[in-house]
């Protein structure tokens, strides 16, 4: 197998599944070279519905150059409400054109501000806020700028179509719209494209080391950051002088500064509860993200080990746990329903394989939490070995507040019809919620993940 880029290996992604040399180039040369549109699945009432019964205003926003969290903060500031009143279904990147849903508690259409780089379309009202995951998936259109070998894209598509396990027996798939498959890794953005440390923070939290978690976030300078930021991170890591660090950390690093304020306001030497309080200064979704990143790192390691052992991704082996398809998914989108699981014993391997071949079932691996039951057989060996290496067990995720996680399972393979166009080289496809476009793109470009954005 072709080894992954070292930066990817640092977050558990050890291999490519296509052997062909990458096309090279980069994504996001311009914001409109990376387009994302949510495949929506959230019902609303008319905008003139009773706001007492339907207090959440729902709107669709097309954003240019806005990170989801930053846009939510800008919106809440303009409305004069807590940021916790603003909700969304999926977090999107800053360097892109993104179309996604938001809800705001207690707002009227006339309250919505004009925001530069945002086009807002009010859809209606709802009785509850949007929650993370209130979408079926996302449709992507990615342009690879200045590729070195665009002609390699066709061969890569052939290899990924074979990995999907759905190739026509006579090999008559069309060149465009072929179904490809890739391991359902968590992409580099999950951990930080330029500063991949969120899983390190999360691992420290799950191990109960709140000080290490705070220092992993405040310290750990990387070459991708401005020199002044690197110096500030090095200073706080070496001195633990919270007040002086506040003088050095730039205002744009508002989350770090918020944590430093909590530590600086402590009259005594910070104890574990103070360090935890510093982390709890962050927005609730970021608190959850740390633990999710730790789970994601373990998941990536499990997939890499399954690849190394040569176990299939498109069908089960004895001991695997599969989940079944969401029957309400939009046409053409394979959407796993992890609430419907089945353990595959020797008697069921053949029948479940047929379901997998038809896109009705998916082999899974765990995002470990308190309620996780590990697989049996060789996949179970992989899961236990990864957790042992990380010094983790399911009970460790019994944590306070937003850090608690019961866990779930996640499909190990993601398949999608992909349209390939040239001049410019463009990849168009759709993925279920939670899957990463860059996990598809990395197989084509095979570059430093920084160049994937």
> Distances in Å between the alpha carbon of 290 and those of 147, 162, 287, 400?
34, 35, 6, 13
3-state secondary structure of 152: helix
* Contact indicator for 294, 203 with CB cutoff of 8 Å: yes
> Distances in Å between the alpha carbon of 277 and those of 3, 201, 217, 429?
40, 14, 14, 42
* Contact indicator for 349, 316 with CB cutoff of 8 Å: yes
Radius of gyration of the chain (CA): 22
Pick the catalytic residue from 32, 48, 77, 93.
93
Q: How far apart are CA 377 and CA 375, in angstroms?
A: 7
Q: How far apart are CA 330 and CA 137, in angstroms?
A: 9
Six-digit token string for 418: 């992909």
Strand partners, 99: 37, 62
Report the alpha-carbon angle 19-22-23, nearest 5.
Answer: 145
Angular region, 208: left φ>0, alpha ψ -120 to 50, beta rest: left
Provide CB contacts within 8 A for 146, sequence distance 6+: 24, 25, 26, 29
Number of CB atoms found within 10 A of residue 389's CB: 11
Number of CB atoms found within 10 A of residue 174's CB: 9
DSSP letter for each residue of 322-345: EEEE-TTSPTT---EEEEEEEE--
CA atoms within 13 A on the CB side of 146: 8
User: Which residue stretches of 68-172 are H helix?
Assistant: 68-79, 153-164
328 tagged catalytic: no
- Phi first, then psi: give them for residue 133, nearest 5 degrees: 100, 0
Number of CB atoms found within 10 A of residue 388's CB: 10
* Contact indicator for 94, 28 with CB cutoff of 8 Å: no
Residues that are catalytic: 93
């Amino acid at each position: 197998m072709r080894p992954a880029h070292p930066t990817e290996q640092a977050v558990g992604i050890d291999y490519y599944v296509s052997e062909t040399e990458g096309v090279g180039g980069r994504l996001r040369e311009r914001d409109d070279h990376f387009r994302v549109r949510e495949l929506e699945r959230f019902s609303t009432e008319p905008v003139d519905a009773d706001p007492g019964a339907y207090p959440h205003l729902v709107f669709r926003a097309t954003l240019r150059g806005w990170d989801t969290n930053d846009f939510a903060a800008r919106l809440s500031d303009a409305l004069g409400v807590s940021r916790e009143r603003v909700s969304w279904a999926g977090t999107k990147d800053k360097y892109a054109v993104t179309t996604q849903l938001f809800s705001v508690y207690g707002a009227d259409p006339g309250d919505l501000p004009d925001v530069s780089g945002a086009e807002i379309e009010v859809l209606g009202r709802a009785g509850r806020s949007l929650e993370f995951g209130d979408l079926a998936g996302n449709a992507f259109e990615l342009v690879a700028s200045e590729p070195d070998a665009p002609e390699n894209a066709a061969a890569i598509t052939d290899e990924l179509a074979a990995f999907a396990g759905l190739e026509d027996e006579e090999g008559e798939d069309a060149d465009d719209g072929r179904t490809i498959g890739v391991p359902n890794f968590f992409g580099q953005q999950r951990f930080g494209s330029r500063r991949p440390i969120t899983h390190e923070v999360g691992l420290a939290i799950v191990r109960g080391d709140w000080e290490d978690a705070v220092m992993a976030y405040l310290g750990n300078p990387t070459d991708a950051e401005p020199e002044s930021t690197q110096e500030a991170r090095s200073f706080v890591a070496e001195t633990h002088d919270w007040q002086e660090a506040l003088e050095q950390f730039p205002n744009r690093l508002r989350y770090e500064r918020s944590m430093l304020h909590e530590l600086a306001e402590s009259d005594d030497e910070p104890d574990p509860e103070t360090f935890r309080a510093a982390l709890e200064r962050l927005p609730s979704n970021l608190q959850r993200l740390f633990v999710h990143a730790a789970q994601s790192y373990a998941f990536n390691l499990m997939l890499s080990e399954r690849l190394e052992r040569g176990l299939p991704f498109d069908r089960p082996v004895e001991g695997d746990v599969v989940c079944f398809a969401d029957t309400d998914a939009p046409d053409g989108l394979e959407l796993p329903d992890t609430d419907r699981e089945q353990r595959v014993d020797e008697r069921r391997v053949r029948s479940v394989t047929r379901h997998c071949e038809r896109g009705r079932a998916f082999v899974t691996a765990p995002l470990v939490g308190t309620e996780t039951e590990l697989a049996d057989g060789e996949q179970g060996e992989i899961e236990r070995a990864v957790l042992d290496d990380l010094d983790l067990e399911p009970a460790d995720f019994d944590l306070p507040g937003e850090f608690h996680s019961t866990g779930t399972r996640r499909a190990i393979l993601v398949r999608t019809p992909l349209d390939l166009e040239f001049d410019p080289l463009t990849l168009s496809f759709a993925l279920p919620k939670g899957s990463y476009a860059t996990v598809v793109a990395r197989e084509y470009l095979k570059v430093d993940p920084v160049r994937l954005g």
